[in-house]
Amino acid sequence: MTTIHYREIICEGSNQSESVDDYRSFDLKNFAATCGQSPEWVLQLLEYDILPNRPDERIHQFFSDDVTRARKAYRLQRDFDASFSAVAMMLDLIDEVQKLRREVRHLHLPES
């Protein structure tokens, strides 16, 4: 029996949802197909460190978080006509902003 996990992402009033199996791994060909892109495009994501580094023996093994990040990279590339290096920088900045927001929420103390 396969378990499919449903993830709903709400960001600044925008509601996005996708079905993701957090425990499934993909090979390069299936990952590219899941992302709606070519394997060469996926290899560019690895080359520009848009997707996390992997050990050599697992270089072409991908997971659900990678699908989410790759789709986000594609949207940035498409919407801003951005190069892979620009997408990598944008994603790093988005990650940093999200991290800082989490820290601020964590530190936020209710007023007495």
- Per-residue confidence (pLDDT) for residue 4, from 0 to 100: 40
Q: Which residues of 9-24 are buried (b: 16+ CB within 10 A; e: fewer)?
A: eeeeeeeeeeebeeeb
Task: Report, in angstroms and rounded to the nearest whole number, the Rg of the chain calculated over CA atoms.
Answer: 16
Residues 51-67, mean pLDDT to the nearest whole number: 90
Confidence tier at 2 by pLDDT (50, 70, 90): very low
- Residue matched to tokens 């949207």: 75
User: For residue 71, how many other CB atoms are within 10 A of its CB?
Assistant: 16
Question: Hey, where are the domains in the chain?
Answer: 5-107
Q: What is the pLDDT of residue 57?
A: 86
Does domain 5-107 fall under CATH 1.10.390.10? My reply is: no
CB 57 within 8 A of CB 71: no
Q: What is the pTM of this model?
A: 0.73
Q: Express each pLDDT in 74-90 by its tens digit.
A: 999 999 999 999 999 99
